[in-house]
Amino acid sequence: MPIRTRQQTLRAPISCYGIGVHSGKNATLTLKPAPENHGIRFFRTDLPGTQGIPALFSRVVDTSLATVIGENGVIVSTIEHLMAAFAGMGIDNARVELDNYEMPIMDGSAIVFADKIRETGIIAQSAPCSHFIVTHPIEIADGDKFVGAYPDNSFRITCTIEFPNPIIGRQTISIDLGGDHFFSEIAPARTFGFLHEVEMMKQLGLGRGGSLETAVVVSGEEVINEGGLRFPDEFVRHKLLDCIGDFSLIGMPIRGHIKTVKSGHLFNHHFITEFFKNRSCWETVTPT
């Protein structure tokens, strides 16, 4: 996608229904077009009268298992894959309505959302689209975890993961999201888990909606899903998808190169908080 000068929204409403991966609760999700400068906002239709929660990193209340935003005691959980779809498909303004507290996980990737957005269509609005530009490098590290942001003419992300499991091992992927690569290269990559962890989480009452329909499950040296992996390096592609979702909480398209090594929602959120405080490392630019 070329650098956008105008804000965009959906052409028409979109609906999805499915189970929440952590809660096991079914939810109906409706994505609606929204006016200029509205941003992405989440509304709980099961709590009438409550206000919409803007999808911004300042509203993040938990990142331990998934990205959770909240305001005035109202929360919406596991927003990262939908947020990646909005950022990857170039949607700036949308009203997200949900009738429970956790987003449906669908197939564990962002392809259902991205596909419906593409099918429904995207419309350009007249208000200019501001961009968040990385002007100076910034890096943070904690043990072997690392996140950095560097100036770049496009929006590029490079992710590295490392797991002792031999079918994952060390994987790196670098994608230029200024192109049209999100839909085919990243959106279909599913979240993943290890069978022993899935069993332990279920015993703790977590991951209630987790199954072979909602995640890639690794047991020993095998992927036990029928049909195997969608990409040989689906694991790192999903980490990159999560990273797009996390960085979308800056609230506008980014121009810069983000590099992460062994990071996750928590460390990405920590980085964004530090980055935002370092006013000399970024600027926002609004086309005229």
Which residue in the set 23, 242, 246, 248 belongs to the binding site for Zn ion (CB under 5 A)?
242
For residues 146-177, one letter each, b for 16 or more C-beta atoms within 10 angstroms of the residue's C-beta and e for the rest, the string is bbbbbebeebbbbbbbeeeeeebeebebebeb
Stretch that binds Zn ion, among 149-157, 191-199, 227-235, 257-265 (CB under 5 A): 191-199
Q: Is 5 helix (H, G, I), strand (E, B) or coil?
A: coil
Contacting Zn ion within 119-178 (CB under 5 A):
none
| Number of residues counted as binding Zn ion (CB under 5 A) | 2
Q: Please state, in angstroms and rounded to a whole number, the distance separating the CA atoms of residues 61 and 12.
A: 30
Instruction: Check whether 81 is labelled as a binding-site residue.
Output: yes
Write the DSSP string, 123-187: EEEEEE--EEEE-S-EEEEETTEEEEEE--SSEEEEEEEE-SSTTTSEEEEEEETTTTHIIIIIT
Establish whether 269 is a catalytic residue: no
Query: Which run of H or E residues covers position 287?
Result: none
Task: Using the minimum distance from each CB to Zn ion, give the nearer residue, 83 or 96.
Answer: 83
Q: How far is the CB of 78 from Zn ion (least distance, A)?
A: 8
Q: How far is the CB of 255 from Zn ion (least distance, A)?
A: 24
> Directed axis angle between helix 234-248 and helix 80-89, to 10°?
80
Task: Using the minimum distance from each CB to Zn ion, give the nearer residue, 154 or 211.
Answer: 211
Q: How far is the CB of 238 from Zn ion (least distance, A)?
A: 6
Stretch that binds Zn ion, among 10-18, 241-249, 261-269, 278-286 (CB under 5 A): 241-249
Q: Please state, in angstroms and rounded to a whole number, the distance separating the CA atoms of residues 5 and 238.
A: 28
Instruction: Check whether 142 is labelled as a binding-site residue.
Output: no
Which one, of 24, 85, 79, 26, lies nearest residue 57 by Cα? 79
Stretch that binds Zn ion, among 19-27, 198-206, 210-218, 238-246 (CB under 5 A): 238-246
Q: How far is the CB of 12 from Zn ion (least distance, A)?
A: 27
Task: Using the minimum distance from each CB to Zn ion, give the nearer residue, 7 or 78.
Answer: 78
Which residue in the set 7, 23, 63, 191 belongs to the binding site for Zn ion (CB under 5 A)?
191
Q: Please state, in angstroms and rounded to a whole number, the distance separating the CA atoms of residues 186 and 84.
A: 10
Should residue 102 be labelled a site residue for Zn ion when binding is judged by CB under 5 A? no
Q: Please state, in angstroms and rounded to a whole number, the distance separating the CA atoms of residues 86 and 92.
A: 7
Are 122 and 33 a contacting pair, CB within 8 Å? Answer: no
Q: Please state, in angstroms and rounded to a whole number, the distance separating the CA atoms of residues 257 and 192.
A: 25
User: 181, 265, 269, 270: which one is catalytic?
Assistant: 265
Task: Using the minimum distance from each CB to Zn ion, give the nearer residue, 125 or 268.
Answer: 268
Q: How far is the CB of 80 from Zn ion (least distance, A)?
A: 5
Instruction: Check whether 269 is labelled as a binding-site residue.
Output: no
Stretch that binds Zn ion, among 9-17, 132-140, 205-213, 237-245 (CB under 5 A): 237-245
Residues in contact with Zn ion by CB under 5 A are 191, 242
The annotated binding site for Zn(2+) is made up of: 81, 238, 242
Kindly list the catalytic residues. Answer: 265
